[in-house]
Structure formats: structure tokens, C-alpha cells
């Protein structure tokens, strides 16, 4: 295998991009579980590896599907950013179609094997939430649902990286589900979906050309920028009410997400067509959901 293959594999497994979304949700599940009792470090490690494997498989699937539809090929060089336009391992000829497919299969099988290990030796009821998660990971780009092409990709992301991962993490540790985890993770899912929303602006022309009907394409850049504050306001509204469902008031530390979210909304509003070329709005949106997770999880532990 040549240097291009290893460069392509590094792109797909880049921990700076691949793991933050999963770890943010895992942290919330672990924080609530730790407040209830001891944590199994071994099963936590298995959980992290399982989600990492599925995440890499999803990245590879996404590059394959977006390459085959011509979406990634249609992204102009001036619109390419670190956070949007796909991993581009096929567009930049780092991997062949067959190699990308092979990586997707290997990591998907690894994720399934780790999931089966959890079901057989730790928590049998994790089977159903695992099936749902794997199905949503595939369906983000894959047929027949192709959710990201039909305007439901943001909802898919909100469900997966909010309640689903947090609840499954808690279930594996505590052997039961938790309404506290659900409500705590709901704003996280919303802020992660907002991060995806911001990342759709640079790809607007390419997505519109290839009929990828995400929310930014459906609304148009100008309207999408004006509507962007709404998910952040919804997340903040839920955060304010969390003590009423039994969580400590220290979860309000999660309000740390407000400054970077405000920054992202302000600059997207000012220049919806070009903000990503001159302002770090995408990193700010990434920071927003990471700070929500850090603040909320730490608030639970402190409370």
C-alpha cells in the first residue's frame, strides 16, 4: 500500500474530526452514570471504540456516496474548508473507490463486532438502540432513505449525537435508560445539528447542483443565516429547564456554549455567502457544542 492510501486512511480516521461529536455525547452519559454509581472503564473503552469504528465507516460511506452523486466534485476550490466538502479522499485521489469501500466495510464490521460484544456480555437491551444507531448512520447518505439529500440529515445528526449515543452509553454502564440523560443530551443534539447547518453554507452551490436538499439549500443562504439562532435558542431554553427534571443547577455551566454560538450566528447573518472564507465560524460552532457537553457533564458531576 502506497503513501496515498495511508494519507486517505488518516483523513477518514482523523481523531480531531471523527471523535469529538461522539465523545461529547458519551461524556454526558458517563457523567450521569458516574453520579449514580461506579463506572466500568473497560466497557467505556469498548463503547468508545465501537462508536469510533462506526463513525469511520460513516465517513467512508459519505465520501463514496457524495462522490458518486457528483456532490463533492462540484465543490469549488474557494469553498473548500476543513469542516465541509467531505473528506475528499476520492476527489483528491488518495483512495480508490474499492479502497474506500473496503475501509467502510472493515470499520463497519469492527463496530458490529464490538456492539455484539456489548450485547452478549454486558447489556442485551443495547441491541435495539445499536440497530437504530447503525441504521441512522447508514441512512444519512445511504439508500433507500438518503436523509441528508431529503432535508432530514440535520434531524438524523441531532438524534444520533444527542440522545442516542448518550442514552446508549448510560445504558451500557447502568443497565437502564434515564430521562435525565435524555433531557440533558437534547440540547447537545440540537447544537451539533447547528454545527452541521453551518457547515452546509460552503457546500451550498454544489449541494443545490446535485439536488442535495439539506436545510440551507431548501431555505437559501440568507434565510438559513437568519434562522440559525433558533436552534441555539431552543437549546438554551431546554438548558434553563433542566433542574425541573431532577438535574442539579450546576448543569447551567453548559451556558458556556452561548458566546461561540452567538459569534457563529452574528457572522453568518452578516455575510451568509462568504463568512467561511474569512471568519472562524465553523470552529466556533464546533466549540459551541463541545462547551455545552463539557459544561453540562461537569455540572452533573459537581452537582
Residue 251: name the closest of 202, 291, 209, 198 by CA. Answer: 291
- Grid cell 469492527 is found at 110
Cα torsion angle, 135, 137, 139, 143, sign:
negative
Q: Is residue 117 part of a domain?
A: yes
**Rounded CA gap, 282 and 261, in Å?**
10
pLDDT for the residue 258? 98
Q: Which of 33-37, 59-63, 283-287 has the lowest mean pLDDT?
A: 59-63
Residue 241 forms part of a structural domain? no
Indicate if the pLDDT at residue 196 is higher than 80. Answer: yes
Whether pLDDT at 50 is above 80: yes
Residue 69, pLDDT score: 84
The domain in which residue 126 lies consists of: 3-219
Per-chain mean pLDDT for the chain:
92
Asked, for residue 245, whether it belongs to a domain, the answer is no
Residue 171 has pLDDT above 70, yes or no: yes
Per the structure, how many domains does the chain have?
A: 1
Q: Give the model's confidence band at 15: pLDDT under 50 very low, under 70 low, under 90 confident, else very high.
A: low
In a domain, 209, yes or no: yes
Q: What Å distances lie between residue 43 and 5, 33, 48, CA to CA?
A: 32, 13, 9
Please compute the mean of the pLDDT values over residues 82-88 and round it to a whole number. 75
Q: Is the pLDDT score of 136 beyond 70?
A: yes
Residue with cell 459537581: 302
In a domain, 300, yes or no: no
Tell me which range, 80-84, 91-95, 195-199, is most confidently predicted by mean pLDDT: 195-199
Residue 289 lies in a domain: no
More confident residue, 146 or 13: 146
Measured in degrees and rounded to the nearest 5, phi and psi for residue 211 equal: 60, 35
Residue 128 has pLDDT above 80, yes or no: yes
The three three-digit cell numbers of residue 2, written as one number = 502506497
pLDDT at 18: 65
pLDDT at position 223: 96
- In eight-state DSSP terms, residue 164 is I
Which residues have C-beta within 8 Å of that of residue 135, sequence separation ≥ 6?
none
Residue 13 has pLDDT above 80, yes or no: no
Could you read off the pLDDT of 96-106 as tens digits, one per residue? 889 889 989 99
pLDDT at position 81, please?
A: 82
C-alpha cell at 190: 440540537
Angle of the 41-68 helix axis to the 97-121 helix axis, nearest 10:
150
Q: What is the mean pLDDT of residues 26-54?
A: 95
Q: What is the pLDDT of residue 184?
A: 97
- pLDDT classification of 1: cutoffs 50, 70, 90: low
The reported pTM is 0.94
Distance between CA atoms of 41 and 25, rounded to whole angstroms? 17
pLDDT for residue 78 is more than 70: yes
pLDDT at res. 238:
98
- Is 278 inside any structural domain? no
Alpha helices by DSSP H, listed for the chain, are 3-12, 15-18, 20-36, 41-68, 97-121, 126-139, 153-159, 165-174, 179-199, 204-209, 215-219, 221-227, 229-241, 258-270, 275-278, 281-302
- Of 82-91, 206-215, 293-302, the one with minimum mean pLDDT is 82-91
Whether 16 shows a pLDDT value over 70: the answer reads: no
Task: Please report the pLDDT score of residue 130 as a whole number.
Answer: 92
Residue 302 lies in a domain: no
The per-residue pLDDT for 59 is 87
Which has the higher per-residue pLDDT, 91 or 176? 176
Who's near 138: CB < 8 A, 6+ residues apart? 58, 61
- Torsion sign over Cα 212, 150, 214, 169: negative
pLDDT > 80? residue 295: yes
What are 259-274's pLDDT values in tens digits?
999 999 999 999 999 9
pLDDT of residue 17: 65
CA proximity to 128, closest of 71, 168, 101: 168
CA 148 from chain centre, in angstroms, equals 13
Say if residues 123 and 134 touch (Cβ distance below 8 Å).
no
Q: Is the pLDDT of residue 209 over 70?
A: yes
Whether residue 231 has pLDDT greater than 70: yes
Radius of gyration of the chain (CA): 19
CATH of the domain at 128: 1.10.357.140
Amino acid at each position: 500500500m502506497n503513501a496515498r492510501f495511508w494519507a486517505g486512511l488518516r483523513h477518514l480516521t482523523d481523531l480531531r474530526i471523527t471523535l469529538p461529536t461522539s465523545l461529547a455525547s458519551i461524556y454526558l452519559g458517563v457523567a450521569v452514570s458516574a453520579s449514580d454509581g461506579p463506572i466500568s472503564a473497560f466497557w467505556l473503552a469498548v463503547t468508545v471504540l465501537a462508536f469510533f469504528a462506526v463513525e469511520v465507516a460513516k465517513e467512508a460511506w459519505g465520501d463514496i456516496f457524495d462522490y458518486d452523486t457528483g456532490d463533492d466534485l462540484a465543490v469549488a476550490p474557494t469553498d473548500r474548508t476543513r469542516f465541509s466538502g467531505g473528506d475528499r479522499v476520492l476527489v483528491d485521489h488518495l483512495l480508490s473507490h474499492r479502497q474506500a469501500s473496503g475501509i467502510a466495510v472493515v470499520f463497519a464490521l469492527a463496530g458490529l463486532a464490538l456492539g455484539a460484544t456489548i450485547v452478549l456480555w454486558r447489556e442485551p437491551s443495547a441491541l435495539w438502540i445499536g440497530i437504530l444507531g447503525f441504521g441512522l448512520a447508514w441512512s444519512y447518505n445511504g439508500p433507500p432513505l438518503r436523509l441528508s439529500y431529503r432535508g432530514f440529515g440535520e434531524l438524523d445528526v441531532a438524534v444520533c449525537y444527542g440522545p442516542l449515543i448518550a442514552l446508549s452509553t448510560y445504558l451500557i454502564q447502568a443497565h437502564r435508560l434515564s430521562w435525565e440523560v435524555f433531557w440533558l443530551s437534547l440540547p447537545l443534539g440540537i447544537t451539533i445539528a447547528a454545527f452541521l447547518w453551518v457547515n452546509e453554507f460552503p457546500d451550498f452551490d454544489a449541494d443545490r447542483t446535485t439536488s442535495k436538499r439539506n436545510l440551507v439549500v431548501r431555505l437559501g443562504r440568507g434565510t438559513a443565516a437568519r434562522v440559525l439562532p433558533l436552534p441555539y435558542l431552543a437549546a438554551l431554553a431546554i438548558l434553563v429547564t433542566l433542574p425541573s427534571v431532577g438535574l442539579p443547577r450546576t448543569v447551567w455551566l453548559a451556558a458556556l456554549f452561548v458566546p461561540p454560538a452567538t459569534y457563529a450566528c452574528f457572522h453568518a447573518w452578516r455575510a451568509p455567502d462568504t463568512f467561511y472564507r474569512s471568519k472562524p465560524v465553523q470552529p466556533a460552532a464546533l466549540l459551541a457544542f463541545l462547551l455545552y457537553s463539557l459544561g453540562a457533564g461537569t455540572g452533573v458531576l459537581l452537582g
